[in-house]
Amino acid sequence: MTKKTCFVLVLSSAFFFPACEKKEGASKGKTIGVSLLTRGHMFYRDLEEGLVTEAAKNNYELIITAAEFDISKQIGQIEDFVARKVDAIIVCPVDSKGIGAGIRKANAANIPVFTADISAQEGEVVSHIASDNVAGGRLAGEYLAKLLNGKGNIAIINQPVVSSVLDRVQGFREAIGKFPGIKVVADVNGQGVRDKALQATTDILQANPKLDGIFGINDDSALGALDAVQQFKRTNIVIIGYDAIPPAAEAIRKGTPLKADVVQYPKKIGTMTVQKIQEFFAGAQIPKVVPVEVGIIDQAALTKTDK
């Protein structure tokens, strides 16, 4: 943060949200409204950092809010952006279908909408910038299949209302589909949060005494699954996560049942989103989908990085 940084408070849906840092003179440039899924996940805090850094380079003012998993709140935030006549809107949807109502209001006001990380199934969006989640899901499936030697009973801790998760699960199922010895015995909604994933995994463990592996669609899901298998003393179960946030990476380093994580680059997603908006403002034709690379880390990779 520079000495020329100030903070703006945004009133939306009867709540105050801190706006991002605004570079001096940004009032002469464009204003972009941002509605994040949450600030509770490190992924979105990193994505926000990428947005802020790149916006400062372009002298854009960002008004950043967080819906905290509340679709009504998120639609209210978009309505507030429309009322403020912002120049563009970035949304990380709480619900890929439900967000359509808000996006259509922006469409009616001729305000361009961009989605980051999670796509929208309804409403007109200029471009969607996100990790290549199908590829990430394949990486997770291939790694789990390798650890299980191509056979075993597995479960998916899902979050099917989110499009990026649907892509991950699609890629995961494509990968394990090549191994007829692997059977998905449970596919349960853990809602993408740790305590719900813990409960979902507890139910799965009680119903499946011969479970061999679990895929958590994000790290809160994977860590919730880890909590459950440790509580049930079933630490022979292999878990693969997604996001590679520090607590998950630390669990992998320690040799827990969480063995690997698909790694995303949220700062790059934030940076590229603002870059695509800048190109749009300049009159360029923007791709409908902009994929961002993913990778996978395990204990060996983390140990090598630590040296």
* pLDDT tens-digit readout, 212-253: 999 999 999 999 999 999 999 999 999 999 999 899 999 999
Average pLDDT, the chain: 90
On whether the CB atoms of residues 164 and 196 are closer than 8 A, the answer is no
The pLDDT of residue 198 is above 60 = yes
* CA–CA distance, 268 with 281 (Å, rounded to integer): 20
Taking the whole predicted model, whether its pTM rises above 0.85 is answered as no
Lowest mean pLDDT among 15-24, 79-88, 189-198: 15-24
CATH of domain 9-125: 3.40.50.2300
Q: Do domains 9-125 and 133-264+298-306 have the same CATH topology?
A: yes
Q: How distant, in Å, are the alpha carbons of 113, 263, 282 from that of 58?
A: 18, 28, 12
Q: How many CB atoms lie within 10 A of CB 232?
A: 14
φ and ψ at residue 21, rounded to 5 degrees = -65, 135
On whether the CB atoms of residues 221 and 157 are closer than 8 A, the answer is yes
Q: How distant, in Å, are the alpha carbons of 169, 183, 214, 287 from that of 179?
A: 16, 9, 16, 35
* pLDDT tens-digit readout, 111-169: 999 999 999 999 999 999 999 999 999 999 999 999 999 999 999 999 998 888 999 99
pLDDT (average), residues 201-221: 97
Q: Which CATH class is domain 133-264+298-306?
A: alpha beta
What does the angle CA 150 – CA 151 – CA 155 come to, to the nearest 5 degrees? 110
Q: What are the structural domain ranges in the chain?
A: 9-125, 133-264+298-306
Give the pLDDT score at 22.
Answer: 35
pLDDT (average), residues 69-84: 98
